[in-house]
Chain A
Amino acid sequence: MGKTLLDKVWEEHTVRTLPDGRTQLLIGTHLIHEVTSPQAFGMVRDLGLKVLYPHRTFATVDHIVPTDQSQEPFSDPLADAMVKELRKNCAETGVTFFDLPTGKQGIVHIVGPEQGITQPGTTIACGDSHTSTHGAFGAIAFGIGTSQVRDVLATQTMAIAKPKVRRINVDGKLAPGVYAKDVILHIIRKLGVNGGIGFAYEFGGSTFDAFTQEERMTVCNMSIEGGARVGYVNPDETTFEYLRGRPYSPTGGEWDAAVARWKSVASDKDAVYDDVVNFKAGEILPTVTWGITPGQAVFIDEAIPDPKDLPEKDRDTAAEAIEHMKLPSGTPVEGIKVDVTFLGSCTNGRLSDLQEVAKHIKGRKVAAGVKAIVVPGSQGVASVAEKMGLAEIFREAGFEWRGAGCSMCLGMNPDKLVGDQLCASSSNRNFKGRQGSPTGRTMLMSPLMVAAAALTGKISDARKVFGIG
């Protein structure tokens, strides 16, 4: 009987079975950021423990970093204190810190892959639910809470039950103007925001085989939005090519040995899954969310549903969403007026996202009255984009080009919605208040759909706006 990648990685990283039946699982790579780590360092100290393998933890700052100010101290004293705290903790324990002045800072889920730290067949944990992103490399990557950050700092392990595995196949070619973001929004819409509880999602099929590494990251990033704590894609040549030559990638003779190992961790052809779900790429259209959970999504040519047409279990949340969004049932999503557009985040703040948009918006202008911001996911992404002239294209079109960080994905830094502003966003969460204003409204979509909204001032079909397909 064949094994899945999850089976193989789990086996190799199992230290022992704990008295409660869970696995004491070795975490090969630990990523930390300023929000969920300070308490953990404090707990380690209070318990009289120390950081066991400091060279296996890597830190960056992302959530609270202002994107329009690079000088410290930051104008927000609380944010300033958090950066200083992380700096101190890293210096004291010997943890590598991709700090602001290094040129390597950025959103933790963009920095890990960019540096070549995220590798196939490894286990990765980070005090952040979007750690599932790293699964795009065939790693088993978990979002964890602060007590578990403590556990990993002190023991390089954590207590966890082995999940079941659901294989999700997407086959065929995506239509022009349909992106990885649409694929994952569609999967969540179909399987539900809690459909993945207890599962790891293994994404595969010809659509995934053809995806770039960055597209795979976009999908794995949002596994957690479907309830699956872990999402992954089996590593292949695309993965190895992406990793070749990155700062932390193996070199010389070690490279070949590593690739051989990475190939061997992929799921066996005859692997047995707990569940299998199939989708056809051709059925997926540009998708936008209309509510307050990422599963409340429709295709661009649909209207906001009437709760009574939905399955019974979804009705209350739909009614709550309609009240919050102030968009009545029956409103076509195409044409909804937007106030703000946000291009960025760990879902869609990578170079390929910016390139795709820049290619289409060149020479055009953001609609009057729309605040449009572009936030590269890392300093690395920003500097390449600037060298390639992308930043200039965005600026000329009337977008604000910002520094790297989480920015308007969540309300922990100065980039926030005001009042009930409606934002077309390439991020991953449309929860009430997520973008910093309790009454703010978020509609999630692909980067090019965000750009289409920016140029027209309303939710628009990017295929029409840019003459695609």
Chain B
Amino acid sequence: MSLEKITQVTGRAVPVPGDDIDTDRIIPARFMKCVTFDGLGEFAFSDAKAAEKAAGRLHPLDDERFNGASILISGSNFGCGSSREHAPQALYRYGFRAIIAESFAEIFFGNSTTLGIPCVKMSKQDIADLSALVEKTPGVLVTVDLTENKVTVDDVDFKAVIVIPEQARKPLLEGRWDSIADLVDGLDDVKTRVAAIPYLAVK
């Protein structure tokens, strides 16, 4: 299985500020009554959008200035809570191809990497600066560069360091972010291991 080598993601960005944005927030549970992931994109942040509207405010994903964004910027512990892959699937189908945050919940991070969505960490200050920049000039092109671990912005003097564990960065760069092919390659070893473990060895 040959996959795209993800070296960098360039696109418009949208800041969705806040810490601890959980997967129920990203995709409310009622939209998971489905047997495929198709069509989840339109429900991303559905209730958060409605709540903002009810409060007389505009959720960033409803803000036309950020239309077509493919890079999402958020706070710490992004994607906490449920293990639902529906969350990164919804974001991917919405059009997001990279996420920048102060930190990520572990299961969400793994699920996203498997879909080829790089989740990169950036300092709180850099996130604030980048968000301010994007707010000021919506539509500027932001680049998440995995080869050099940095984020840059077109025509602007902005450069920030990003952190992504080597165990996610390498597979993204090499086009092996979906692990199934590698796992299937190891099937002979799997059978050997199974035979050696008492509770698994078939009696």
Contact = CB atoms under 8 A, between A and B. Distances in A.
Interface of A: 12-16, 18-22, 24, 26, 28, 35-36, 38-39, 42, 47, 49, 52-53, 56, 63-64, 76, 78-79, 81-82, 85, 119, 121-122, 127-129, 131, 143-148, 150-151, 154-161, 193-194, 197-198, 224, 227, 229, 257-258, 261, 292-293, 313, 316-317, 320, 410-412, 429, 431-434, 436, 438-439
Interface stretch (B2-10, B15-23, B150-158): B15-23
Interface residues of B, number: 65
B184 A154 contact: yes
Contacts of A15: 186, 189-190, 193
B137 interface: no
Nearest to A143: B83
B25 A64 contact: no
Nearest to B51: A438
Contacts of B84: 35-36, 145-146
Contacts of B85: 36, 39, 127, 145-147
Nearest to A197: B106
B13 to A, nearest CB: 20
Contact of A410 (B29, B180, B194): B29
Interface string B67-79: 0000000011100
Interface stretch (B58-66, B108-116, B140-148): B108-116
B126 interface: no
Contacts of B106: 197-198, 227, 229
B178 interface: yes
A39 B37 CA distance: 7
B33 interface: yes
A438 B36 contact: no
Interface in B6-63: 17-20, 22, 24-25, 28-30, 32-37, 47-48, 50-51
A451 B29 CA distance: 27
B47 A143 contact: no
A227 B79 CA distance: 11
Q: For the complex of A and B, list the 7 residue pairs with the smallest distance between their C-beta atoms, beginning with the closest.
A: A145-B111, A145-B85, A159-B179, A38-B35, A438-B47, A78-B33, A143-B83
Contacts of B190: 15, 24, 26, 52, 155-157
A451 B183 CA distance: 48
Nearest to A314: B19
Nearest to A42: B36
A20 B83 contact: no
B20 A293 contact: yes
Interface of B: 17-20, 22, 24-25, 28-30, 32-37, 47-48, 50-51, 75-77, 80-86, 88-89, 103-107, 110-111, 114-115, 165-168, 170-171, 174, 176, 178-180, 182-184, 186-187, 189-190, 193-194, 197-200
A21 B85 CA distance: 23
B183 A227 contact: no
B187 A155 contact: yes
A35 B180 contact: no
B194 A143 contact: no
A85 B35 CA distance: 8
A81 B36 CA distance: 12
Given A144-B83, A197-B106, A317-B20, A412 B35 contact: no
Given A13-B193, A49-B184, A438-B51, A147 B114 contact: yes
A227 B111 contact: no
A30 to B, nearest CB: 12
A438 B28 contact: yes
5 contacts: A13-B193, A129-B107, A145-B107, A156-B190, A261-B199
Contact of A18 (B18, B48, B179): B179
Given A119-B199, A147-B85, A317-B20, A411 B77 contact: no
Contact of A433 (B24, B77, B88, B194): B24
B199 A122 contact: yes
A161 B19 CA distance: 25
Contacts of A148: 110-111, 114
Given A145-B84, A155-B187, A193 B180 contact: no
Centre residue among A82, A144, A147, A434 by max chain B CB count within 10 A: A147
Given A22-B179, A26-B194, A158-B179, 20 more contacts: A18-B179, A20-B179, A24-B182, A24-B183, A24-B190, A28-B197, A39-B37, A76-B33, A82-B33, A129-B82, A146-B85, A151-B180, A155-B180, A159-B182, A161-B167, A194-B20, A197-B103, A316-B18, A317-B18, A412-B33
B199 A432 contact: no
B83 A129 contact: yes
Contact of B166 (A21, A26, A64, A129): A21
A35 B30 CA distance: 11
Contacts of A35: 32, 84
A15 B82 CA distance: 28
Contact of B83 (A36, A194, A432): A36
